[in-house]
Amino acid sequence: MPEQVLLEVHDLRVSFFTPVGEVKAVGGISYSLKNGEVIGIVGESGSGKSVEAYSVMGILESPGKIIGGTVYFEDCDILALNKKEREKLRGNKISMIFQNPMESLNPVYTVGNQLIAVLREHKTISKNVAYQRAVDMLNNVGITNPAQRMKQYPHELSGGMRQRVMIAMALICEPKLLIADEPTTALDVTIQSQILELMKALQKKNAMSILFITHNLGVVAEMCDTVSVMYGGFIVEQGNVEDIFYRPLHPYTLGLLRSMPRIDAEENEKLIPIEGTPINMLDPRPGCPFTPRCNEGMKICMNSFPPHTVQENNHVVACWLEYRKTLQK
């Protein structure tokens, strides 16, 4: 895998300015994604995964606002682009797949017209060539009888079909970066695994990088090289899939692994829920956001955010317990 960095997010902070106050949705996250790398972003609902992705994609809506940090895509400072420059990048070099396909499909245009429009917006090709590429792409995403489907409207298709069309739309310009936000959550298991296989195949073929947001650890194991675990708007742990699954360091990651079914789990293996409720983002405390739910919390955890401790294989954790251990070494 080439080691060249494609996406570099540094100290990204995003807030929503609501009538009841500032909601700190993303508190300052940093990571980088190399060419051809698939990174999984996991964490419970409300931890800031989508807001982070929308910010990178440049589609964060009011009252959301990026209040700090930088996002570089190749050498381009994404946050400094104007609307037109962003649109040029979107759909072309960076694409996104949403949980709900209707968010990116237009109900009043046929599937074919939408695919052709995306292509011709970004590439200088004739209508005929675009038509052929669209048919081929539908074929690639496993849609039978693509010429017929080209003439249909999104509402005429089943949920699984629509999801495939959206994936075709996202991939037709062969983006360098794909952001997939829970792309298969709404689908039944068989279609889910077909679509994952397809994404993996296309990823390998084009050496595409993927930011894969999911709460399904089985999907992470299947799809990703590295994982970022988010909690309360922060990345609390980052590492390769092996380290996160077999050598987790943060108490939240441990809890997350115990609370979710694994592919290799026995049928009757008990899942252990994480006690307590997610934090209130309106009034975040200064320390580690997980402290109120952590069994190993200390006084210092409540008062200041833990420094990042870097272990072997770039396994990074933000936890005072780990920091203390490194001091003792």
Interface residues with Mg ion (CB under 5 A)? Answer: 50
Which of 39, 51, 115, 256: binder of ligand ADP (CB under 6 A)?
A: 51
To which residue do tokens 């999907």 refer? 219
Interaction of residue 216 with ligand ADP, rule CB under 6 A: no
Whole-number Å distance between alpha carbons of 223 and 145: 28
The nearest distance, CB 285 to ligand ADP, in angstroms, is: 15
**Residue of 4, 18, 304, 313 that binds ligand ADP (CB under 6 A):** 18
Residue 136 and residue 116: Cα distance in Å, rounded? 12
The closest alpha carbon to 29, from 17, 19, 39, 18, belongs to 39
H or E element: which one contains 69? strand 64-73
Nearer to Mg ion, 44 or 242 (CB): 44
Mention every residue, 6+ apart, whose C-beta is less than 8 A from residue 146. 135, 136, 138, 139
**Angle of CA points 212, 178, 84, to nearest 5°:** 130
Shortest spacing between CB 231 and ligand ADP, in angstroms = 10
CB of 294 to ligand ADP, least distance (A): 19
Residues 272-301 binding ligand ADP (CB under 6 A) are 281
Q: Which two tokens stand for residue 87?
A: 């649109």
Q: Contact between 195 and ligand ADP (CB under 6 A)?
A: no
Q: How far is the CB of 50 from Mg ion (least distance, A)?
A: 3
By CB under 6 A, which span of 38-46, 86-94, 98-106, 288-296 interacts with ligand ADP?
38-46
Residue 189: Cβ-neighbour burial (10 angstroms; 0-12, 13-18, 19+): exposed
Q: Smallest distance, Å, CB 138 to ligand ADP?
A: 29
Whether the CA torsion 286, 50, 221, 159 is positive or negative: it is positive
Nearer to ligand ADP, 49 or 176 (CB): 49
Residue list 79-98, contact with ligand ADP (CB under 6 A): none
Tokens representing residue 8 in the block: 């570099």
Q: Does 212 bind ligand ADP (CB under 6 A)?
A: no
- In order, the DSSP letters of 145-161 are SHHHHHTS-GGGS-HHH
Based on the shown chain and the rule CB under 6 A, indicate whether residue 145 belongs to the binding site for ligand ADP: no
Query: Amino acid identity of 117?
Result: A
- Residue 45 in the binding site for ligand ADP (CB under 6 A): yes
* Residue choice 25, 168, 227, 244 for contact with ligand ADP (CB under 6 A): 25
* 25 touches, from Mg ion, ligand ADP, none (C-beta below 5 to 8 Å by class): ligand ADP
**How far apart, in whole angstroms, are the C-alpha atoms of residue 232 and residue 309?**
19
Establish if 159 lies at the interface with ligand ADP (CB under 6 A).
no
Given Mg ion, ligand ADP, none, residue 16, with its beta carbon under 5 to 8 Å by kind, binds ligand ADP
Whose tokens are 């692994």? That residue is 257
The residues that touch ligand ADP, with contacts defined as CB under 6 A, are: 16, 18, 23, 25, 43, 45-51, 63, 281
